[in-house]
């Protein structure tokens, strides 16, 4: 079997002066020129930018347009394949409405990488899965929108071409400390993030190898949530939600059902 694989170089400008797309023309040109890597590079380009609200919508579109035109000009000069322009975008329906002119950015982006994870985490006081595919029927209407399936549909609804959407799949877990170890289902009360991992040292977060260690420890219980189609595990007052082979396969199948071309 032959795989058609592409590598991406992530050029992140988060928390940098260029993270604001509302820049002067000269500064934008500087950003564009800095992204024109040597033609012999094996990487394509991923550009990520922070959109902070409605005021940035038009400026972001203009920045993407300039980047796309610069990439097209570079390939004419170098004779090399055009650099790819993609963006990592939020899954939140509120962020989409506030900061993104979806039909316009879709004109210039080759792929749209939807960050369908971190729906829940240690910033909340009840346990929730990092990346649920579907909602719990018993939850609120707002919570029902915090899912992979809803986010994918919302981007399509707002005008994103299905063939350009890449749906994010996390390879880490979000953990919590249960207030009452006997209450461990989704929505159970939590005092905050789980104990920091041995290797990553971050409360409320587990790398996948730390999740594996947690699963193999004595007295750990693994649970499959049939409504959300994702697993979680708990031991005493420690709880972690993550993705495994079964949930990832289910998400891939759901992407196919929605006629989305790719996953990320």
The secondary structure of 167-216 as a DSSP string is: E---SEEEEEEESSTT--STT-BEEEEPPPPTTT--TTEEEHHHHHHHHH
Interhelix angle 148-157/245-257, nearest 10 degrees: 20
Q: Is the pLDDT of residue 34 over 60?
A: no
Lowest mean pLDDT, pick from 46-50, 65-69, 168-172, 212-216: 46-50
DSSP H or E stretch at residue 223: strand 221-225
Q: How far is CA 121 from the centre of its chain?
A: 14
First-last CA distance in the chain? 20
pLDDT score, position 43:
42
Report, as an integer, the average pLDDT of 189-196.
98
pLDDT score, position 248:
96
Q: How far apart are CA 14 and CA 181, in angstroms?
A: 38
pLDDT score, position 264:
61
Lowest mean pLDDT, pick from 17-21, 84-88, 104-108, 205-209: 17-21
Q: Which residue has the tokens 């759901």?
A: 254
Lowest mean pLDDT, pick from 69-78, 129-138, 218-227: 69-78
pTM: 0.84
Kindly list the distances between the CA atom of residue 83 and the CA atoms of 45, 46, 80, 98, in Å, as whole numbers in the listed order. Answer: 6, 9, 9, 29
pLDDT score, position 56:
80
Q: Is the pLDDT of residue 42 over 50?
A: no
Q: What token pair was written down for 140?
A: 């609120």
Q: How far apart are CA 131 and CA 228, in angstroms?
A: 9
Closest to 91 measured CA to CA, from 62, 131, 138, 50: 131
Q: Which long-range contacts (CB under 8 A, 24 or more apart) does 123-128 make?
A: 124/190, 125/189, 125/190, 125/191, 125/192, 126/187, 126/188, 126/189, 126/190, 127/176, 127/178, 127/184, 127/185, 127/186, 127/187, 127/188, 127/190, 127/232, 127/239, 127/241, 128/174, 128/186, 128/187, 128/241
Structural domains in the chain? Answer: 8-170+245-263 (3.20.20.80), 172-241 (3.10.50.10)
Note the pLDDT tens digit of each residue in 143-166.
999 999 999 999 999 999 999 999
Could you count the other beta carbons within 10 Å of the beta carbon of residue 128? 22
């Amino acid at each position: 079997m032959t795989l058609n694989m592409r590598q991406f170089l992530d050029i992140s400008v988060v928390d940098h002066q260029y993270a604001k797309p509302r820049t002067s023309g000269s500064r934008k040109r500087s950003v564009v020129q800095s992204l024109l890597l040597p033609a012999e590079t094996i990487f394509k380009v991923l550009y990520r930018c922070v959109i902070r609200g409605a005021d940035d919508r038009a400026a972001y579109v203009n920045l993407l347009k300039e980047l796309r035109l610069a990439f097209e000009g570079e390939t004419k000069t170098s004779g090399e394949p055009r650099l790819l322009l993609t963006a990592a975008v939020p899954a939140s329906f509120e962020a989409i409405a506030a900061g993104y002119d979806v039909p316009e950015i879709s004109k210039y982006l080759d792929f749209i990488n939807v960050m369908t994870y971190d729906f829940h985490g240690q910033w909340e006081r009840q346990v929730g899965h990092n990346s649920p595919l579907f909602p719990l029927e018993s939850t609120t209407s707002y919570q029902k929108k915090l899912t992979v399936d809803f986010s994918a549909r919302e981007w399509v609804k707002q005008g994103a071409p299905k063939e350009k959407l890449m749906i994010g799949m996390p390879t880490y877990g979000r953990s919590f400390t249960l207030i009452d170890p006997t209450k461990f289902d989704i929505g159970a009360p939590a005092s905050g993030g789980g104990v920091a991992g041995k290797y990553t040292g971050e409360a409320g977060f587990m790398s996948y190898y730390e999740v594996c260690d947690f699963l193999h420890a004595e007295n750990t219980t693994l649970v499959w949530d049939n409504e959300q189609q994702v697993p979680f595990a708990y031991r005493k007052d420690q709880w972690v939600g993550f993705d495994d082979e079964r949930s990832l396969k289910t998400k891939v199948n759901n992407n196919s059902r929605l006629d989305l071309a790719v996953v990320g």
